[in-house]
Amino acid sequence: MKQTARPLLALLIAAGSAQAQQLGTISFSNSGSPAAQAPFIRGVLYLHSFEYDEAASAFREAQTKDPGFALAYWGEALSLTHPVWNEQDLAAARSALARLAPTAAARRVRAPTHREQMYLDAVEILYGEGSKPRRDTLYAQAMERLTGAHPEDDEARAFYALALLGLNQGVRDVPAYMRAGAIAQEILSRKPDHPGAAHYVIHAFDDPVHAPLGLPAARAYSRIAPAAPHAQHMTTHIFLAVGMWDEVVSQNIIASGPDRSRWRAGHYPSWLAYGLLQQGRYRDAAELLDLVKANLREGSSAGEHGYLQAMRAHHIVNTEEWDGAVARWEPDLTRGSAVTRAMSLFASGYAALKREDRAGAEGFLSRLGELARSAPPAEVRIMERELAAMLLLAGGKRDEAIAILKEAAKAEDGIPAEFGPPAIVKPTHELLGEVLLAAGDVAGAVREFRRALDLAPGRSRALLGLTRATSR
């Protein structure tokens, strides 16, 4: 696949110079002092764009301006729950609320209006007693009551939509997502500069089936909140789901920040790398991978190690450079999630097979099997089956290999639709399509490649496979 002429550096410079300093527009009436209004509104705007550290800082500034301002403490506490990411710092949130007053009853008295009391009641439930799933469910119900009591309050409606997105503990629940999307879409239709409305529409619809519904919000969100890096990246949840690779690349360049030398393995660079691979810009993708690898520091987080593992795996599988420099080094697999470690092991084993190093591939399969036996994610077990099938194929057992791949493809179909670069680094339908095509089953290959493209629209390897199959 051909390299595009425009260098990555030129895009970086253009992106950095164009960034504006805005976060969007909301209206949130409250009882805080005039001096506290600007930081409070800024905090809510940051909340809507998941810039949580900045939000907490803004709310603490509002508390300094008005120490008795109850909603400033509500906002800081709310910044410690990240519903879509299934993250919650219960102890820190309770500590933030305790700075307003020591008990829930005493805090409620500090809120002078019934509406503000309902906001406090909801966050007290969120950080009350019980398991996280129970508290999240009761919090969503409290926010629904708030919207019923104050239907004019679009902030309550927006935060209710966000609560619905988090109900299933980080796993897509399509009915709840559709409810959240409908609420956010209605707000956005009336308030086209509302960052939360645009953001939550995107989250609700960022799977390949529903992504076309989120395109208008995706096109708007980067304009609404250009000062929020997450807003720049978030648009690509829709763009990637429909295969708009130019937009995936340009927006994640902006989100990653203007100082390229400081880029680390993380969410935005990993999506950028995947977009570059889908464009066929393998040289730029390798340059990016080398950069984030070089910037890995001692003491880097498990998440950073995981992103590096995933970026390397996608690079090997999408470039098919089985004997290249990237395939020849293996990242530290003592850190990272089970899924990203499995991605790296699969890619290493698959590359070894392509180099006709069966012993090496068997070693990686053994390690992948150990991980699959100890790790619950279905993606890990599917990648183990894929590599096992390819080893059987290399040993001449084609029918057995195809049978295992068909089982793996069925298992992949049973995983709830998600967003972003595929966790199964070589999507099973794509792999099965390639095996069937090599076996002469053109009709079966066409069927598998089309299914692969249903799950990952515009993916270059699946498109290439479909083109080869339909030209037979």
What pLDDT, on a 0 to 100 scale, did the predictor assign at position 359?
A: 97
Q: What pLDDT was estimated at residue 334?
A: 92
Q: Which pLDDT score, from 0 to 100, does residue 375 have?
A: 82
Interstrand relation of 81-82 and 87-88 (parallel, antiparallel or unpaired): antiparallel
- Mean pLDDT of the region 87-107: 97
Same structural domain for residues 133 and 219? yes
Residue 472: give the domain boundaries.
Answer: 427-472
Query: Does residue 193 form part of some domain?
Result: yes
Q: What is the CATH number of the domain that holds 233?
A: 1.25.40
Q: What is the pLDDT of residues 223-272, one digit of tens each?
A: 999 999 999 999 999 999 999 999 999 999 999 999 999 999 999 999 99
Residue 342 lies in a domain: yes
pLDDT bracket for residue 6 (50, 70, 90):
very low
pLDDT at 2 (0 to 100): 39
Same domain for 441 and 311: no
Q: Write out pLDDT tens, residues 103-134.
A: 999 999 999 999 999 999 999 999 999 999 99
- Kindly state whether residue 1 falls inside one of the protein's structural domains: no
* SS3 (DSSP) at 33: coil
Is 274 inside a domain boundary? yes
Q: How many Cβ atoms from other residues are within 10 Å of residue 469's Cβ?
A: 22
Q: Mean pLDDT over all residues of the chain? A: 94
pLDDT of residue 18: 34
Same domain, 137 and 207: yes
Choosing from 196, 217, 242, the residue where a domain stops is 242
Q: pLDDT class for 60, splitting at 50, 70, 90?
A: very high
Domain for residue 408, yes or no? yes
Residues 287 and 386 in one domain: yes
Q: What is the CA radius of gyration of the chain?
A: 24
Q: Give the per-residue pLDDT at 287.
A: 97
Residues 6+ positions from 465 with CB-CB distance below 8 Å: 430, 433, 434, 437, 445, 449, 452
Predicted TM-score of the model (pTM): 0.91
% of the chain residues with pLDDT over 70:
96
Domain boundary among 242, 266, 298: 242
Q: For residues 420 and 450, state if they share a domain.
A: no
Query: Which tens digits make up the pLDDT trace of 276-335?
Result: 999 999 999 999 999 999 999 888 899 999 999 999 999 999 999 999 999 999 899 999
In a domain, 192, yes or no: yes
